[in-house]
């Protein structure tokens, strides 16, 4: 028999109660109402026990349902605890149903799947001492009434979907010992929360959006600092300076201090007054200066120290602590030699610094070490034999250094080593895999734990020994870019767990062994001299796994795979029905002929279009000598002397590729901002970037130097483009000044880097440049006459170069050459597309419409960036517009570029930048009369215009027809709002518009406040808070 239907079962229950004449306490009635919100009970314990029939007859004296699962009563029969942790329960709970349980002290519903809002009525349950709702799906804001629970000792709301500002009034909760809000979307000024807390011992605000700094008066922290033992503020939006020395002295009882994943600035204070500190994590911040000696000393009980991804300088100090186990100082600017001693450390990570010298000091490190990571430094010399004698070593990463000599054979006989990475060095000789087939060797191999072996980019020679089979647990084998030769051993196919095999860029010969391993997901043998038939088990991999190189490889059934026809392998599954090579040749030839005709037609069309555009704007375009490879290599990348504007090009595998420009929007081309960005496919392979056509400015602003006729076609520029007098020498003879030393290269290496034009702006031309090691950079070549003199440029460049933030694209270095034309800014190349393309691109095949939630997230990201620039750096952006905002990754994280460039410009260059902003519609009105320097409030105005573009999907420069005549975007939105039809402005293509009309209205209200007159306009902190308060 199946389970009884709910309705008859409820009727039976009521009938039973009526017949028994039962009288139930208010608590029992409340729990029965509460039970109605439980939609799913996979274990059945609540369903079967929470029933009046289950706990006795109606005549029972005790009215407490003590046999109900998780329910506890006091001596008077009142319910004092409801604990339903980890039962997999789900449903939308109504907390109003239990608000009347005045004796309830413990409500714990942790680790279920409950949903619903926390209602203000929860504030009347003043008897509560323990409230744990963690690990559910509760949503919405935290009600302010929660601070009325003055008896509360334990409050845990972690791992939910709670969102909004956390209410003030925490000073009322003076008995609270545990305060846990981690992994929500709550926000607020962290200083306000820390100063309100009293007597808390466990504080966890991690994984939220709290902002502000930690540098405050010690008197404001004393109540919290004297009692707190665990404090985790990591993964928030904290910024500004660290705790002061006076404040740190108060935290004498703290044992865990986690401040990682923020944007904290400045130097660390002394930690000598924190004798109980065991775990200190401050990685992924913007801290600088030297690391305090106290953290390495014997007076502390520190067990873990993580200061990675900061800007610390100086040397790595000797560790005298006997308790420190984990030391992570990676991704800083530490220099000098390796530390003499590491005490009792088991894991040390000093990678991505500027350490020099050899590895001989490693012999002084204790034999307790299990992990050694020293990659991306400037270490040199051979491997010390002591490195092979560590009995517990499991991970060794010495990649990207200048190490020489041979590899220690003991690495391949270790019983503990699981990960060995020696790539990017100068090691030579043969690879000393285990050397015999003796019984002893075979037994030893069964204990070998090596899973990841990366020896790529070295100078290893000789053959790949069949003794590779002595590594039976190998999952990743990367030997690319060496000088290995000979046949590939068949034993490779016997490595049962192999997932990644890269043998490219060697001199291997002979046949490819069959690898019948379904686990193999990455395979590359290109740039070798292999021959014979490709095993069928490897036909699932693309042509790039085999070619270029290996010209004698053939497909099964004798279908040739010559290197000029390598793409055939991608169509193997469709070729099985073709029986003759003649048929293939005929089809390929036909397709080639059609493509040739199509290509000729396109070229002819583009040439004619360029001629029409030139004549249409009434001026002759200046020829440019764009030597991409800023860079030398004129034979690889040069533009025709007759071509007035080079087409979008990309360089790959010694071939010049030209792609057809794609229109962004029918009549919305901004002439000075043609920006292009590459993207990657689902496998992470870099795709050829699609060039973006510049967006046209249709508004002729007062004083604008860029008149914009509206009759021009998409393929034509609507303005006279800015003339860029860029001089490109074959070699850069000046000096690179690095602001981030995690990647080092020379001006000579930059000179010979193949490159392509990304776009042009009023500041100059941007290039995408690929270094010899494959690292891709963005190089902005500043326009002649725009830049101030060297001393001021260097001062401001150093200031701008140190800016680090999750929503900012940071600098790597700048270049100052001997000629006036040679002023470069270098940063990492970011795979993404500008916000402008998402808003205005006319072809929907690539850019799907942004949802309400996505647009709100983009707005918050931009505001967060501006908050950091304004409040923490004292710097206006000065040039904020959609083309300077990139959307990165699947979650469309906004990253801002071209910030603070006005600090590098001459007064005339600043005036030109402001004038350009006005032409595009982003200039604040007050800058029309005072063009001396961008301001914070001017940034807020530009941001307000961008918010309007996000809401309307109209360009700031659009001329919009209305009843009152033609107006621009800001005037149109204001007019619609005054007339009570603000919703008419919204982009009707927004996904989810119907579900979130309130959020759109609130976003519109914020945008309108941003464009108020300067004396009424809010600052970015207020705007940021307003945006964070919007809920969907």
What pLDDT, in 10s, does the model give residues 814-868?
888 887 778 899 999 988 888 988 887 655 456 677 888 889 999 999 999 999 9
**Res. 539: pLDDT tops 60:** yes
Per-residue confidence band for 499, with pLDDT thresholds at 50, 70 and 90: very high
The domain total for the chain is: 1
The pLDDT value given to residue 669:
35
Kindly report the average pLDDT of the chain as a whole number: 78
The pLDDT value given to residue 659:
28
Angstrom distance (rounded) from CA 511 to CA 574: 25
DSSP H/E element including 798? helix 790-801
**Res. 453: pLDDT tops 70:** yes
Quick check: is 789 in a domain?
Answer: no
Angstrom distance (rounded) from CA 171 to CA 194: 10
As beta bridge partners, residue 73 has: 79
Residue ranges making up the domain that contains 513: 406-574
Which carries the bigger pLDDT value, residue 279 or residue 514? 279
The pLDDT value given to residue 330:
93
Mean pLDDT of 308-328: 91
Quick check: is 709 in a domain?
Answer: no
Q: How many CB atoms lie within 10 A of CB 150?
A: 12
Per-residue confidence band for 992, with pLDDT thresholds at 50, 70 and 90: low
| Two structure tokens written together for 672 | 């000075």
Q: Are 940 and 650 in contact (CB under 8 A)?
A: no
What residue has token string 């001199």?
507
Quick check: is 875 in a domain?
Answer: no
Which has the closest alpha carbon to 525: 568, 488, 565, 554?
488
Query: Would you say how long the chain is, in residues?
Result: 1032
The pLDDT value given to residue 641:
29
Quick check: is 499 in a domain?
Answer: yes
Per-residue confidence band for 579, with pLDDT thresholds at 50, 70 and 90: very low
The pLDDT value given to residue 60:
45
Angstrom distance (rounded) from CA 953 to CA 958: 10
Handedness of CA 133, 139, 145, 147 (dihedral sign): positive
**Res. 357: pLDDT tops 70:** yes
**Res. 501: pLDDT tops 50:** yes
**Res. 224: pLDDT tops 50:** yes
Quick check: is 513 in a domain?
Answer: yes
The pLDDT value given to residue 746:
85
Summarize pLDDT for 282-298 with one digit per residue, the tens: 999 989 899 999 999 88
Mean pLDDT of 496-518: 90
Per-residue confidence band for 350, with pLDDT thresholds at 50, 70 and 90: very high
- In the chain, the percentage of residues whose pLDDT exceeds 90 is 42
Mean pLDDT of 457-474: 91
Phi and psi angles of residue 328, each rounded to the nearest 5 degrees, phi first: -125, 105
Per-residue confidence band for 222, with pLDDT thresholds at 50, 70 and 90: confident
The pLDDT value given to residue 57:
46
**Res. 991: pLDDT tops 60:** no
Phi and psi angles of residue 854, each rounded to the nearest 5 degrees, phi first: -65, -40
- In the chain, the percentage of residues whose pLDDT exceeds 70 is 76
The pLDDT value given to residue 549:
92
Summarize pLDDT for 545-574 with one digit per residue, the tens: 998 999 999 887 644 443 334 443 444 333
- Whether the pTM exceeds 0.85: the reply is no
**Angle at CA of residue 826, ends 823 and 831, nearest 5°:** 140
**Res. 760: pLDDT tops 70:** yes
What residue has token string 């490779």?
492
Quick check: is 306 in a domain?
Answer: no
The pLDDT value given to residue 106:
96
The pLDDT value given to residue 723:
30
Summarize pLDDT for 398-430 with one digit per residue, the tens: 999 999 999 999 998 888 999 999 999 999 999
DSSP labels for 558-580? G-B--GGGGGGGGGHHHHTT---
The pLDDT value given to residue 570:
42
The pLDDT value given to residue 842:
55
**Res. 4: pLDDT tops 80:** no
Which CATH number fits the domain that encloses residue 511? 3.80.10.10
Quick check: is 545 in a domain?
Answer: yes
Cβ neighbors of 661 (< 8 A, separation 6 or more) are 647, 648, 691, 693, 715
As beta bridge partners, residue 204 has: 180, 232
The pLDDT value given to residue 137:
95
Angstrom distance (rounded) from CA 482 to CA 457: 6
Summarize pLDDT for 704-756 with one digit per residue, the tens: 333 332 222 232 323 333 333 334 444 566 788 888 777 888 888 888 888 88
118 burial level (CB within 10 Å; 0-12, 13-18, 19+): buried
Handedness of CA 586, 592, 596, 598 (dihedral sign): positive
Summarize pLDDT for 865-891 with one digit per residue, the tens: 999 999 888 899 999 999 999 999 888
Quick check: is 493 in a domain?
Answer: yes
Per-residue confidence band for 601, with pLDDT thresholds at 50, 70 and 90: low
Axis crossing angle, helix 969-978 with helix 997-1010, rounded to the nearest 10: 120
Question: Which region, left, alpha or beta, applies to residue 381 given φ > 0 means left and ψ of -120 to 50 means alpha?
Answer: left
**Res. 629: pLDDT tops 80:** no
DSSP 870: I
| Two structure tokens written together for 355 | 């350490």
- Strand 529-533 versus strand 507-510 pairing type: parallel
The pLDDT value given to residue 960:
67
Summarize pLDDT for 640-676 with one digit per residue, the tens: 323 333 333 232 322 222 222 333 333 333 333 433 3
Mean pLDDT of 123-148: 94
Mean pLDDT of 942-957: 89
Which has the closest alpha carbon to 478: 509, 502, 496, 507?
502
Which has the closest alpha carbon to 13: 34, 37, 29?
29
């Amino acid at each position: 028999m199946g389970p009884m239907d709910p309705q008859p079962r409820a009727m039976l229950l009521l009938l039973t109660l009526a017949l028994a004449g039962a009288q139930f306490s208010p608590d029992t009635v409340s729990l029965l109402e509460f039970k109605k919100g439980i939609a799913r009970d996979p274990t059945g314990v609540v369903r079967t026990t929470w029933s009046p029939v289950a706990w006795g007859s109606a005549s029972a004296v005790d009215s407490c349902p003590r046999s109900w699962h998780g329910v506890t009563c006091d001596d008077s029969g009142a319910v004092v605890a409801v604990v339903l942790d980890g039962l997999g329960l789900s449903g939308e709970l109504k907390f109003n149903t239990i608000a009347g349980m005045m004796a309830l002290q413990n409500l714990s519903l942790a680790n279920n799947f409950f949903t619903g809002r926390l209602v203000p009525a929860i504030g009347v349950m003043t008897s509560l001492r323990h409230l744990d709702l963690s690990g559910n799906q509760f949503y919405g804001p935290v009600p302010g009434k929660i601070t009325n629970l003055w008896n509360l000792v334990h409050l845990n709301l972690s791992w939910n979907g709670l969102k909004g500002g956390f209410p003030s009034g925490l000073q009322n909760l003076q008995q609270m010992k545990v305060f846990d809000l981690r992994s929500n979307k709550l926000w607020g000024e962290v200083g306000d929360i820390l100063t309100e807390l009293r007597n808390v011992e466990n504080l966890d605000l991690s994984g939220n959006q709290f902002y502000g700094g930690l540098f405050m008066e010690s008197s404001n922290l004393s109540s919290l600092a004297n009692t707190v033992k665990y404090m985790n503020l990591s993964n928030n939006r904290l910024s500004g300076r660290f705790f002061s020395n006076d404040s740190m002295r108060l935290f004498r009882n703290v044992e865990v201090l986690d401040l990682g994943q923020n944007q904290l600035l400045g130097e660390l204070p002394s930690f000598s007054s924190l004798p109980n500190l065991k775990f200190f994590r401050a990685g992924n911040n913007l801290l600088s200066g030297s690391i305090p000696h106290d953290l390495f000393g014997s007076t502390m009980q520190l067990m873990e120290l993580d200061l990675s991804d900061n800007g610390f300088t100086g040397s790595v100090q000797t560790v005298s602590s006997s308790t420190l186990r984990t030391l992570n100082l990676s991704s800083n600017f530490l220099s000098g030699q390796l530390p003499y001693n590491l005490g009792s450390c088991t894991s040390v990570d000093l990678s991505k610094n500027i350490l020099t010298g050899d590895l001989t000091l490693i012999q002084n490190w204790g034999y307790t070490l299990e992990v050694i990571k020293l990659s991306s430094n400037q270490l040199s010399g051979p491997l010390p034999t002591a490195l092979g004698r560590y009995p517990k070593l499991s991970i060794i990463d010495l990649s990207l250094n200048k190490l020489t000599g041979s590899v220690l054979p003991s690495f391949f006989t270790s019983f503990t080593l699981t990960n060995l990475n020696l790539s990017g060095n100068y090691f030579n000789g043969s690879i000393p895999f285990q050397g015999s087939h003796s019984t002893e060797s075979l037994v030893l191999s069964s204990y070998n734990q090596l899973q990841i072996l990366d020896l790529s980019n070295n100078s290893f020679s000789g053959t790949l020994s069949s003794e590779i089979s002595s590594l039976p647990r190998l999952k990743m084998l990367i030997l690319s870019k060496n000088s290995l030769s000979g046949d590939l051993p068949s034993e490779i196919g016997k490595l049962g767990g192999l997932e990644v095999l890269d043998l490219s860029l060697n001199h291997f010969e002979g046949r490819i062994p069959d690898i019948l391993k379904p686990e193999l997901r990455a395979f590359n043998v290109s740039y070798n001299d292999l021959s014979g038939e490709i095993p069928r088990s490897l036909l699932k991999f693309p042509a790039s796994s085999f070619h270029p190189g290996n010209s004698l490889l053939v497909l099964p059934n004798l279908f040739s795979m010559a290197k000029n026809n390598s793409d055939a392998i991608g169509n193997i599954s469709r070729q099985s029905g073709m029986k003759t090579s003649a048929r293939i040749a005929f089809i390929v030839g036909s397709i080639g002929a059609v493509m040739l005709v199509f290509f000729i037609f396109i070229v002819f069309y583009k040439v004619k279009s360029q001629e029409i555009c030139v004549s249409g704007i009434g001026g002759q375009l200046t020829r440019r000598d764009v030597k991409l490879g800023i860079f030398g290599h004129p034979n690889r990348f040069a533009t025709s002397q007759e071509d007035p504007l080079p087409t979008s090009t990309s360089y790959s595998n010694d071939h010049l590729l030209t792609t057809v420009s794609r229109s962004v929007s029918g009549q919305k081309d901004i002439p000075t901002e043609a920006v292009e960005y590459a993207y990657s496919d689902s496998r992470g392979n870099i795709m050829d970037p699609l060039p973006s056509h510049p967006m046209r400015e249709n508004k002729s602003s007062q004083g604008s130097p860029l008149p914009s006729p509206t009759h021009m076609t998409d393929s034509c520029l609507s303005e006279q483009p800015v003339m860029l007098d860029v001089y490109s020498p074959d070699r850069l003879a000046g000096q690179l000044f690095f602001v981030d030393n995690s990647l080092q290269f020379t001006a000579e290496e930059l000179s010979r880097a193949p490159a392509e034009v990304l776009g042009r702006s009023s500041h100059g031309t941007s290039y995408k440049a690929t270094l010899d090691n494959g690292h891709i950079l963005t190089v902005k070549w500043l326009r002649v006459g725009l830049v101030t003199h060297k001393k001021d440029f260097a001062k401001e460049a150093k200031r701008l170069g140190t800016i680090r933030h999750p929503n900012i694209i940071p600098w790597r270095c700048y270049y100052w050459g001997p000629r006036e034309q040679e002023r470069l800014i270098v940063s990492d190349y970011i795979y993404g597309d500008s916000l402008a393309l998402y808003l205005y691109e006319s072809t929907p095949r690539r850019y799907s419409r942004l949802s309400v939630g996505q647009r709100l997230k983009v707005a918050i990201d931009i505001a967060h960036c501006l908050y950091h620039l304004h409040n923490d750096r004292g710097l206006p952006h000065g040039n904020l517009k959609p083309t300077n905002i990139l959307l990165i990754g699947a979650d469309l994280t906004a990253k801002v570029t071209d910030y603070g460039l006005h600090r590098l410009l001459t007064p005339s260059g600043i005036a030109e930048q402001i004038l350009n902003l006005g032409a595009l519609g982003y200039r604040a009105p007050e800058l029309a009369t005072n063009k001396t320097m961008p301001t914070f409030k001017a940034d807020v105005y530009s941001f307000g215009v961008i918010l309007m573009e996000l809401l309307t999907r109209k360009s700031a420069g659009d001329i919009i027809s209305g009843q009152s005549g033609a107006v621009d975007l800001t005037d149109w939105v204001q007019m619609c709002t005054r007339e009570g039809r603000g919703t008419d402005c919204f982009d009707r293509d927004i996904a989810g518009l119907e579900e979130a009309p309130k959020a759109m209205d609130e976003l519109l209200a914020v945008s309108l406040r941003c464009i108020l007159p300067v004396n009424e306009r809010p600052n970015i902190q207020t705007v940021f808070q307003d945006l964070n308060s919007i809920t969907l």
